[in-house]
Amino acid sequence: MQWKIFTYVAAFSALILALLWLFQIFFLDDFYLALSTRSLRGCADRLQAVSYEELQSTADALASKNGICILIFDGGGGRVASADTQYNCLLHHADAAWLTSLVRSAQANDGELTSRMELRVNGDESRTPPQRLLSVRVTATADNKNIIVMMDSPVAPVDGVLQTLTSQLALITLIVALAAAGVAALIARRLSAPIKAISRAAGNLAVGRYDIPFEGKGYREIGELADTLNRTAAELSKVENLRRELIANISHDLRTPLTMISGYSEMMRDMPGENTPENCQIILDESNRLTRLVNDLVQVSRYQDGAAAPDRQPLRLDELLRETVDRYRRLTAHDGYTLTLTGLSAVTVLADRDQLLQVIYNLIGNAVNYCGEDKTVEIRQITRAGSVRVEIRDHGEGIEPEKLPYIWERYYRIDRVHHRADGGSGIGLSIVREILEAHKAVYGAESRVGSGSCFYFEFPTVSDTPDDAAAQP
Ligand code: ADP
């Protein structure tokens, strides 16, 4: 980058210098002559625009204004006007034959001739002779009288000026080249230093060090890049922590039932008396727990890959709730749990049946797991105009407000040690979240430490149910 910036700045400076050299030095002479020629032509134009009588006065005015000599002849060769402001004027000191030859050349050249001449002083070869610009025009006055306008203008010596300009420009070129190099180096350093620092820090990401902060001072864009990278590093570090936790959790979760299964099987093989239905049941329960865990893992990754897009069909949410709660009641009744279901009314929603079932299962399962002493879970259906809300409430220990946002994340468990034995994998709520988001449903959790939690989700109702139709305004 440093070299690129340097090249751009150098190229830009070179362009400016080249233009300066071109116009100031190489074309100066041509420019000057072109200007002088234009000025002489302007004078001739003015002279042919006046009447015969006014020629002398106009010639005087033009000659003194422009510092030139003017000589005007009529068609017969007689002098009509003369203005001599230059001591070494070529015209006023020339012989008639030379003047005639000039007129002939002008006539041969469409009546106009401009020529640069050197004023040679005999015997003086040491210095460059002064130069003159001669102009001859064969024309007529405003009142149609033929005239020949001859003008002589001194040509200032540009050589001296050129020399001064050349040495000045050489100096300017040197200064500009040095300045360009300095500026380029400065810009490159200021631009590339923070980028280099960021790329050095980014190298740490590759080797798994996420705690090195990215600093992007100086430019807004670089600051934004640093912010983005800092956020990325934070996310990566979170993912890395989750990955570690996942391995720890899963290996723990897999090991516990496997130990039980192998332990009990060995015991039953070695001790005939232990071959009881209860022990078989333990093995069965533990293998079921394993199956559940593996299923959860498979499912969450399917949802996250987007492989399980919901197959939405109209379904009776109230019936689904009743069925699920009934099944749960049967499963938990012998442990003394009470599940209440209130507010049921016929309501149809558009949803994937299996997925919605999973949501309700997971939420009720969590409420049962965390419901605390009173072992009561309240499930409520609240039907509103155009939507239905399902709430699952327990009176357990609740969730601390600062932990509440994280419970939906994969493998997140608030009290890892305590609940491990419950067989929870920390995946249940993330499956709920994936499903509800795929359905674009509103969902959330409210909780107060000590008084329990309430998990809810809402679906728009489909208007073909009688209740819902009645609720429509
Ligand atoms: P798990 O399988 O561990 O229950 P979840 O994803 O279902 O995993 O829940 C994540 C965490 O959220 C749980 O470990 C628990 O700490 C907390 N949680 C979920 N539901 C409740 C609830 N009803 N009451 C209190 N804490 C809850």
Tens of pLDDT, residues 82-102: 988 877 787 888 888 888 888
Residue 203: pLDDT band (50, 70, 90) is confident
Tens of pLDDT, residues 321-376: 999 998 888 878 788 899 999 999 999 999 999 889 889 988 998 999 898 889 99
Strand partners, 454: 393, 446
Alpha carbon distance 156, 34 (integer Å): 13
Q: What confidence score (pLDDT) does residue 421 get?
A: 43
Evaluate if residue 155 carries a pLDDT over 50: yes
pTM of the complete model: 0.49
Residue 393: pLDDT band (50, 70, 90) is very high
Distance 368 CA to ligand 1 centre (A): 10
User: Cβ(6) to ligand 1 under 6 A?
Assistant: no
Q: By alpha-carbon position, which residue is closest to atom 11 of ligand 1?
A: 413
Distance 359 CA to ligand 1 centre (A): 13
Helix (H, G, I), strand (E, B) or coil at 443: strand
User: Best mutation site among 376, 429, 454, 455 for ligand 1, i.e. most ligand atoms within 8 A of its Cβ?
Assistant: 429
Q: Which numbered atom of ligand 1 lies nearest the CA of 396?
A: 24
Lowest average pLDDT, out of 249-253, 291-295, 388-392, goes to 249-253
Q: Which numbered atom of ligand 1 lies nearest the CA of 366?
A: 20
Evaluate if residue 445 carries a pLDDT over 60: yes
User: Cβ(293) to ligand 1 under 6 A?
Assistant: no
User: Best mutation site among 407, 425, 449, 457 for ligand 1, i.e. most ligand atoms within 8 A of its Cβ?
Assistant: 407
Distances (CA, A) of 379 to 335, 341, 343, 390, 436: 18, 5, 9, 7, 18
Evaluate if residue 2 carries a pLDDT over 70: no
Evaluate if residue 128 carries a pLDDT over 70: no
Lowest average pLDDT, out of 45-49, 397-401, 419-423, goes to 419-423
**What integer is the mean pLDDT of 207-227?**
81
54-89 burial, b for 16+ CB within 10 Å, e for fewer? Answer: bbbebbbebbeebebbbbbbbeeeeebbbbbbbeeb
Residue 122: pLDDT band (50, 70, 90) is low
| CB contact at 8 A, 434 and 304 | yes
Q: How far is CA 255 from the centre of its chain?
A: 50
Question: What backbone phi and psi angles, to 5 degrees, belong to 385?
Answer: -70, 110
Distance 461 CA to ligand 1 centre (A): 28
Tens of pLDDT, residues 182-199: 888 888 777 777 888 888
